Structure 1
Amino acid sequence: MKLSTYFTLLASLLIHFPAFGKNGGPNFIIIIGDDVGWDAFGCTGMKEAKTPAIDQLASESSMMTRFYCSVSQCAPLRAELYTGLLPKNNGVLANAVKEKRTGVRNVADHLIPLGYEVGLTGKRHFGLGSAKIDVIPGFSPNGNGSNQVHSFDGVENYVSQAKQKGNSFCVIIAATHAHHPWDHGKESNFPADNIRVRPHYLDTPTARQAMAKHAAEVEVLDRQVRETRELMKRMDLEKDTILIFLSEQGIAMPRGKWSPYEHGSRALCLAYWKGRILSRKTTALAMYCDVVPTLVDFAGGKDPGLDGKSLKELWTSKPVKSHRDEVLISNVHPFWQKAIVTDTYKLIWTGHPERNHVFSNFTSRNKFFSKPWAEWMDEAKTNETAARKVERILQPKPFELYDVVSDPYEINDLSSLPEHQKRIASLQTKLKKLMTDCGESTTPPGPEESKKKKDKANRRKPRRPSK
């Protein structure tokens, strides 16, 4: 081979193959929002959204619009994300319900032996595993505060140091938007008259105002996604870095976070790796616990044997393949609700639906929703449609069945229709098996346990609920 031909070939290889760390695996940057459901973006149909960076990323990514958390609360969602385990197996069942587990490993436990440095900036809400996840300065660690800041200087320094050592890295940017108090961004960018009120809400002035405030927070999150991509280009990371965006759980509104409904438990996942991950939209079912096995797979490690399943094949192979047959959603506190999601249907099981004290207490104490809720209750006194929506929130049926493909806001409960009774029975059996397989009880809590929770809730002074 001529020398000139050799150098031409070598140059071509250097251009087309990324300069990985010495372990040979790609870098990872994970951005996770806060209280943002799948439908809050232009790319998912919210026309009034101002999310150009996320929409652009979606057009270049493997876009997953049916990405679920097992529990739609911040602590259990992050435990699921960072361990690859379902709540009953990692011990974080709810923000306020934790059970001690031994042998739980976090994302750093899995990636450090593979030659990675693992760091997080922003909201933490997590403390499982033996390996320490490095704390990167720059983003506010608490989503409840008003004085939120974000700076990418710490991320840039962390990445630079990892590259200097020849190590691959996994950086988690845990944003605090759009968590209440919803006082960031420009609400004036979202006139209340232009806001699309979700069909399961009552269309009232304060509900529109709440949605406008939330949309302004999502716009701030979008800017952070844009800045992340600018950093990747500035540091020449695109060829050797996988960027994952996760919207987290739904908004703090009825049938949103804290619930198994689509508006609470369903998220958007975007996965981008230039030239490697296919750009396409898929409705394949996936879960937050799938992320850690996916990172390990891309990093060249062995299957860690977790509850999650690697998404690598789904993101990189043709044609589009299914990933999961069903998803288990498992809320235990403040309201015992379980659900199974399939390609088309969702069955929701509410234990003791007559005990609506938890939601009533929650809404009356939540200063961000108490005004809309008061309006809804007033309108329900004279408006039959409003009364049905309020009753649906306060008095769910023991079992609800929805076609979540044609009815993503779960308006039309199919559970009373004769033609769906066999389907309901089959889904009940599958749901209980999923619960049993991961060590959950298939018996709702009894009256005494429920009464203790009620008394504890009623003793609380009015305050904003923490996560």
Structure 2
Amino acid sequence: MIILKKIIWFCFLLAYSFCFSQAKKPNFVIVIADDHGVLHSTPYGSNIIQTPNMQKLADEGMRFDNAYVASPACAPSRAALFTGLMPYNNGIVGNHEMNLKQGVQSLIPSLIDQGYEVVFQGKVAHGGKNHHGGYIPNNVKVLKRSPRKDTKMSVVANFLKNRKDTRPLALFIGCIDTHTPFPPAGESRIKPEDVIINKRIYTTPEAQLEMSRYIQAAESIDTKLGNILKMSDIYLDKKNTMTVYTSDHGMAWPFAKWSLYETGIRTPLLISWPGKIQPNSTTKAMVSWIDLLPTMIDIADGTVPENIDGKPFTAVILGKKNKHRDAIYATHKGDNEKNVYPIRSVRVGKWKYIRNLHPEFAYTTHTDAWATEVPMTKLHANHAGHHWNSYIKAAKTDPAAANFLTDYHTNPAEELYNLELDPLEQHNLAELPEYSKKLKSLRKMISKRMIEVNDDESLSGPPKLLENFSIMESKIK
């Protein structure tokens, strides 16, 4: 009888301990934007784009100044996020690829094993249901998508209001506003003529109009974020909820999405966690998207798998460290036939090295390829750069426009930048003898890395050779 009582008491303590630990695990609310550039918000220095809710999140928590994605296209970027593996290690390298390498495991089950209810709403994975058998297991609850104009986030609100599950929540919300097509012309708060465009990019009234539409999209995401924060405060324990805002890569714009420049792979990352993260703090620690899920698992007291590339930056979040990675690697294969341009890069400290595997190819993307398409389909019209033909027209009379098109469509085999002095990567130092030692060092790192991950240097489609390409017309001759 005494032994039986001890067994019953032990079981009670075990059950109580488990329930108590479950209650203490924080909720996670992860808001993922689509194509939202790192420089396009108030916390990251924009004086034009008004994002007060992103600023509020930064004020209440931590702004990461050196957060990166693994690849500047949706499919490989998100696959890396949910597997904790870089593209060549998880198998999804080019955009719209869907098959993970055999044996690659999602990190989501590690959260579920820690007692979490995992919920997706909006574009979180890439390709919708196609990925749910890959890096998104079937026991993830997938809510229906809501219209872009639903800034009240009614689907999320209804879910939280009616939620009966007492498990800790890991809620991933995808916002596609900043992915083309942008809001119609005339809906933007800012006038096109007041838009200031990055000096590397030739400015036309049409480009200013296009950017004004994107600005409206970014501000729409901010409104959604504000409503998410409000409903989180109402339905979740604010003091026990970690909120994250980030983006899968830069915007569909020259030298951004589909490139390994900073505006392509450096991403906004804002994290708040009351009582845990010091308010209004910033960090220059270099972190990668492959580190985010391992960090969540670590915070949830789970065991982070050892055979992945990602590693937790929990100590950075809690203010115990100001450094995480010594090097940041990135890979770009391409986006089917529209963007056949494999690139590799590494950042170490202030130095950035980019290797263009085929400088004999013309660099093209949806932006220009579909803008010059004749006839243009309705689908392509939605995602083409409606400003692109204004560059082509200007290049006929203005050498600056012609230089811009040349800069956009062509690249040297190697690029080297000092990001402290040249954050927009406009002054390539690769050819200067005084930087040869640094160039050789970073070149060696990339070559070694490519061997380690079995980089096959494959293409996403048939390339456009520069010898057959009209740069001033942005199309094949």
TM-score range, shorter chain: 0.7 to 0.9
Offset, 1:234:
1.4
**TM-score of the two chains, using structure 1 as the length reference:** 0.84
CA spacing shift, 1:217–1:415, aligned 2, 3 Å: same
1:356-399 Cα shifts (integer Å, max 9, x gaps): 06446355346455442222233334333333322111111100
**Is contact 1:284-1:322 (8 Å) kept?**
yes
**Is contact 1:83-1:107 (8 Å) kept?**
yes
1:194-250 Cα shifts (integer Å, max 9, x gaps): 212012210111111111000000010000110011012212421111001003211
Is 1:89 aligned with 2:89?
Answer: yes
1:300-331 Cα shifts (integer Å, max 9, x gaps): 0112222111111011024x421111111111
**Is contact 2:114-2:302 (8 Å) kept?**
yes
1:311 is matched with 313
2:473 is matched with none
1:295 is matched with 296
Query: Which of 414, 429, 433 does residue 429 from structure 2 map onto?
Result: 414
Offset, 1:433:
1.9
Offset, 1:178:
0.7
1:397 is matched with 412
CA distance in 2, matches of 1:68, 1:309: 14
Q: Percent identity?
A: 28
Query: Which of 452, 460, 463 does residue 462 from structure 2 map onto?
Result: 452
CA distance in 2, matches of 1:241, 1:423: 43
**Is contact 1:103-1:129 (8 Å) kept?**
no
Offset, 1:181:
0.9
Match of 1:94, SS state, is coil
Q: How does 1:122-161 map to 2 (within 5 A)?
A: 122-123=122-123, 124-125=125-126, 126-127=131-132, 128-129=134-135, 131-132=137-138, 133-140=140-147, 149=150, 152-159=153-160
Match of 2:285, SS state, is coil
Structure 1 stretch displaced more, 34-43 or 368-377: 368-377
Amino acid at match of 1:392: D
Query: Which of 349, 356, 363 does residue 355 from structure 2 map onto?
Result: 349
Amino acid at match of 2:226: R
Gaps of at least 5 residues in structure 1 are 1-18, 141-146, 459-467
CA spacing shift, 1:329–1:220, aligned 2, 3 Å: same
1:219 is matched with 219
CA spacing shift, 1:384–1:234, aligned 2, 3 Å: same
**Is contact 1:57-1:270 (8 Å) kept?**
yes
CA distance in 2, matches of 1:420, 1:160: 59
1:432 is matched with 447
CA distance in 1, matches of 2:453, 2:267: 23
Gaps of at least 5 residues in structure 2 are 1-18, 335-339, 374-379, 469-477
Structure 1 stretch displaced more, 407-416 or 184-193: 184-193
1:331 is matched with 332
Is 1:267 aligned with 2:272?
Answer: no
Amino acid at match of 1:452: P
**Is contact 1:20-1:168 (8 Å) kept?**
no
Query: Which of 349, 352, 361 does residue 369 from structure 2 map onto?
Result: 361
Offset, 1:20:
7.4
Match of 2:447, SS state, is helix
**TM-score of the two chains, using structure 2 as the length reference:** 0.83
Match of 2:462, SS state, is helix
Amino acid at match of 1:364: T
**Is contact 1:138-1:153 (8 Å) kept?**
no
1:148-172 Cα shifts (integer Å, max 9, x gaps): 545544434544666x443111000
CA RMSD of aligned residues (A): 2.5
2:112 is matched with 112
2:403 is matched with 388
1:16 is matched with none
1:61-99 Cα shifts (integer Å, max 9, x gaps): 210122111211111111111221111122211223444
2:175 is matched with 175
Match of 1:29, SS state, is strand
CA distance in 1, matches of 2:20, 2:244: 18
1:249-306 Cα shifts (integer Å, max 9, x gaps): 1111111111111111111101100110123112221111111100100000112222
CA spacing shift, 1:157–1:117, aligned 2, 3 Å: farther
**Is contact 1:37-1:248 (8 Å) kept?**
no
Structure 1 stretch displaced more, 21-30 or 111-120: 21-30
Match of 1:390, SS state, is helix
1:376 is matched with 391
CA distance in 2, matches of 1:270, 1:415: 33
Amino acid at match of 1:76: P
CA spacing shift, 1:155–1:105, aligned 2, 3 Å: farther
CA distance in 2, matches of 1:158, 1:190: 34
CA spacing shift, 1:113–1:91, aligned 2, 3 Å: same
1:28 is matched with 28
1:187 is matched with 187
CA distance in 1, matches of 2:363, 2:299: 46
CA distance in 1, matches of 2:449, 2:370: 29
CA spacing shift, 1:130–1:56, aligned 2, 3 Å: closer
CA distance in 1, matches of 2:267, 2:414: 23
**Is contact 1:284-1:321 (8 Å) kept?**
yes
